[in-house]
Structure 1
């Protein structure tokens, strides 16, 4: 999948996201299925708009973009339900105060696009910081930290197992910053390739061109290059790779349009 440069393959896979999510929800028990669907819609569609509305050029108070404690708790819940659930992590995140969350996330977002600086500041939140020296918390924390930053900017891919597994040459998954930055670079490079192909795509118009050639009326169709306006972001690419892996897991066929 990742090696493919065919836009039809990528678009078809992205379009299959609702079916992949539905299959994952169906595999959950009881209320967890409905909760995952609700949280995913909130994280993917609602939350980015809430954050944008708080940016300095939009917010009349000039406070800048930030997240509330409730939002960080919901982000963590979304991450755990979409992947592996760890109740201990949820309780740690809930122990943060709203004032602390707003201050730290605001400072972290202000450092972006310096990813490393943003991640370092976010590590001040309980339950979402970097690993301890022993490494015991590494697989519990970095994913949540990245999920927070990915909610702020579409140029940051979420660190899902499913997406990382789909990127060749990454080796064994490691929940450390060095591994994530390598994954982030690969995702951004692929976005550049796909967007270059999007811009180069040719569409045939229905506008006929008439001309006189050797006394005969000739009709032909103009072939012009048009940019469709679709832009691949790391956020969308992660979603597409996640869909690819989940579809294969549940035996869902991805049909190209």
Structure 2
């Protein structure tokens, strides 16, 4: 399934398989990390109104989630775990206050060592899933045809496509967010790796 698919029932099915796909990866701590990222972190951030922020410990756990769900890059975890608490708080406050300007919000966050556009997108997606989807390799591949470019420019293209798809899929009865679209695309990609025979193999674009 890619962004051209316009059948909401297929998207719902893909989204509903997300937790099963997380379990199927059988990676240490991924289930608890995903629970933290999807269910615990968002309300924590929103309870800190009027100036929401993320802490270094929360950012470190978010990074563990990102690296465990995707590619493991231990140096990134070392970088964010040693960031100054005051700096992380003030930087994330500025980023959240920049929304709905996603470009500015990402730029604010990427001043932190170890935080590139992909990690910045994960922080923003936890706070504003209706605006900023996480820049996962699997969803990037499905939306743009490649997942090698982690630039801000590429992320903005990606976010725009997922925002458009979310609006298209939403109705009075169901609301899709760009983050829902990302999780659905990720679920389909992971499912295809687990059961390649059940998925028609699309030619990968470089």
Offset at 1:172?
Answer: 2.9
- Which deviations, in whole Å up to 9, do the C-alpha atoms of 1:34-68 show, x marking residues without a partner? x1110101101111111111121xxxxxxx11001
Offset at 1:146?
Answer: 1.4
Give the conservation status (yes or no) of the 8 Å contact 2:134–2:182: yes
Aligned counterpart in structure 1 of residue 187 of structure 2, from 243, 246, 249: 243
SS class of match (2:123): helix
Q: Does 1:188 align with 2:132?
A: no
Q: Does 1:115 align with 2:102?
A: yes
1:110-149 alignment, distance < 5 Å: 110-128=97-115, 141-149=116-124
Computed over aligned residues only, the root mean square deviation of the Cα atoms, in angstroms, reads: 1.5
Q: Does 1:84 align with 2:84?
A: no
Give the equivalent residue in structure 1 for 2:136. 160
Give the conservation status (yes or no) of the 8 Å contact 1:92–1:127: yes
Q: Does 1:232 align with 2:168?
A: no
Q: Does 1:67 align with 2:45?
A: no
Give the conservation status (yes or no) of the 8 Å contact 2:21–2:187: yes
Give the conservation status (yes or no) of the 8 Å contact 1:104–1:122: yes
TM-score, normalization: structure 1? 0.73
Give the conservation status (yes or no) of the 8 Å contact 1:69–1:97: yes
Give the equivalent residue in structure 1 for 2:37. 43
Write the distance in 1 (CA, Å) between the matches of 2:163 and 2:138.
17
SS class of match (1:157): coil
Gaps of 5+ in 1: 57-63, 129-140, 199-226
Query: Number of residues paired by the alignment?
Result: 195
Write the distance in 2 (CA, Å) between the matches of 1:248 and 1:191.
22
Offset at 1:171?
Answer: 3.8
SS class of match (2:189): helix
Write the distance in 2 (CA, Å) between the matches of 1:151 and 1:22.
20
Offset at 1:5?
Answer: 1.3
Write the distance in 2 (CA, Å) between the matches of 1:116 and 1:11.
29
- Which deviations, in whole Å up to 9, do the C-alpha atoms of 1:51-107 show, x marking residues without a partner? 111121xxxxxxx11001110111111100000111111111111121111111011
Give the equivalent residue in structure 2 for 1:204. none
Give the conservation status (yes or no) of the 8 Å contact 2:140–2:146: no
Offset at 1:185?
Answer: 0.8
Write the distance in 1 (CA, Å) between the matches of 2:134 and 2:118.
7
Structure with more strand by fraction: 1
Please tell me whether Structure 1 or Structure 2 has the larger radius of gyration of its CA atoms. 1
TM-score, normalization: structure 2? 0.90
Write the distance in 2 (CA, Å) between the matches of 1:148 and 1:22.
22
